[in-house]
Amino acid sequence: MTTEFAFTLPRGWIDASGQVHREGTMRLATARDEIEPQADPEVQRNEAYLAVLLLSRVVTRLGGVTQVTPALIADLFAADFDHLQTVYAHLNAGGDAVGAVACPACGHGFEVDLTEVSGGDLVHG
């Protein structure tokens, strides 16, 4: 069973050296991933922060970064944050997880079953 999936951010996270990171991986969420962040004091103050914590738990890599922190997720461009929330929802929906993607090589858009792809499958051709 595949539990980790590749994604590509529309804009990408820019690190302190100016390098753009767009390719990453996200794992399926566990019940613990969804329950534990709800007790976080920041979430108690601002419920919207829950999505930041959830994504920081399930995004396992972004570019060369393997320690994805809440601060990194919070620093994403809004389009990238929204994209990750959409990927999270599709992967953890429990049913069909169909997503609209674009080939990084040619830009052609198409739909894929996100539960059955790896990063290499997202290249049109």
Question: Comparing C-alpha atoms, which of 69, 67, 61 is closest to residue 9?
Answer: 61
- The DSSP output letter for 50 is H
The verdict on residue 113 lying in a domain is: no
Question: Comparing C-alpha atoms, which of 31, 23, 28, 55 is closest to residue 115?
Answer: 28
pLDDT above 80 (res 100): no
The verdict on residue 100 lying in a domain is: no
Question: Comparing C-alpha atoms, which of 85, 39, 40 is closest to residue 59?
Answer: 85
pLDDT above 60 (res 55): yes
Q: Which domain holds residue 90?
A: 4-95
pLDDT above 80 (res 118): no
The verdict on residue 58 lying in a domain is: yes
Q: Can you tell me the mean pLDDT for 60-66?
A: 96
Model confidence band, residue 125 (pLDDT cutoffs 50, 70, 90): very low
The verdict on residue 117 lying in a domain is: no
Task: Give CA–CA dist 81/39, Å, rounded.
Answer: 22
The verdict on residue 42 lying in a domain is: yes
* Widest pairwise Cα distance in the chain: 48
Model confidence band, residue 58 (pLDDT cutoffs 50, 70, 90): very high
The mean predicted confidence, pLDDT, of the chain is 86
State the pLDDT at residue 45: 94
State the pLDDT at residue 22: 96
The verdict on residue 60 lying in a domain is: yes
The verdict on residue 43 lying in a domain is: yes
Q: Can you tell me the mean pLDDT for 48-73?
A: 96
State how beta strands 20-27 and 4-14 pair: antiparallel
8 A C-beta contact, residue 43 and residue 59: no
How many domains does the structure of the chain reveal? 1
The verdict on residue 88 lying in a domain is: yes
Model confidence band, residue 3 (pLDDT cutoffs 50, 70, 90): very high
